[in-house]
Amino acid sequence: MNLAEARIRSAVTLLGLVVLLLAGVAWAWSAVSEPFPEREEAATCTSTEVDAGEKVYPDQITVSVLNAGTSEGLADRTMTDLVAAGLDEGELGNARGTDITNVEIWAGDVDSPAVKLVKSFLGKDAEIVQREASLPGINVVVGEEFLGVGEGREFAVAKEEATICSPPVEDLS
């Protein structure tokens, strides 16, 4: 092999390696600059059937809190206390324009064991109002005169069949 052939072979090999390098850089750039897949919005709660006589515990209940007062963070503080008491965290919101000074519980089924259990954490002055909830789960609406979350019952017993909004169970399979 003469010197000219060796130089041509080296140039072709070098050109091939440069093409491979550029292809690798292009592939890596497209992989790095590709947007992350959209995160699926997880359900806040799922409907769970409860039979008559069955016990309902705080960790089976999703609760959302709305602030009807003018104090900033009132709903957030209430949610923190309810979660510390064992209830599942739903969503936060505002209920400005309502005439609630203490605390109300908004629920479609006022006889639900979940409603009764949530009420036990809010005190005897908590009013239960039959009203479709605007947020997931049991809706607790707090006003300026709400004194805070207290120690509630350990469980409530369903007097009749009911449907409650429970935290979703993650499928680990």
**Domain residue ranges in the chain:** 1-36, 46-166
pLDDT tens, 78-92? 999 999 999 999 999
**pLDDT value of residue 152:** 93
Report helix, strand or coil for 83.
helix
pLDDT for residue 172 is more than 50: no
Element (H, E) at 23: helix 3-33
C-alpha span between 74 and 151 (Å, rounded): 18
From 28-42, 100-114, 143-157, the region with the lowest mean pLDDT: 28-42
Q: Could you tell me if 44 and 90 are in contact, meaning their C-beta atoms sit under 8 angstroms apart? A: yes
Mean pLDDT of the chain: 88
Instruction: Tell me: pLDDT of 173 over 60.
Output: no
Please choose, from the candidates 103, 112, 115, the residue with its C-alpha nearest in 3D space to the C-alpha of residue 78.
Answer: 103
Residue corresponding to tokens 């963070």: 73
Q: Is the dihedral of CA 159, 90, 77, 100 positive or negative?
A: negative
Instruction: Examine the pLDDT at 43 and tell me if it is beyond 70.
Output: no
Mean pLDDT calculated for residue range 135-143: 93
Q: Evaluate if residue 154 carries a pLDDT over 90.
A: yes
Phi-psi region of 53 (alpha: psi -120 to 50; beta: other; left: phi over 0): left
Distance of CA 105 to the CA centre of its chain: 19
DSSP type of residue 90: E
What is the average pLDDT across 134-155? Answer: 92
User: Taking 80 as the threshold, does the pLDDT of residue 16 lie above it?
Assistant: yes
pTM for this prediction: 0.73
Give the SS3 label for residue 1.
Answer: coil
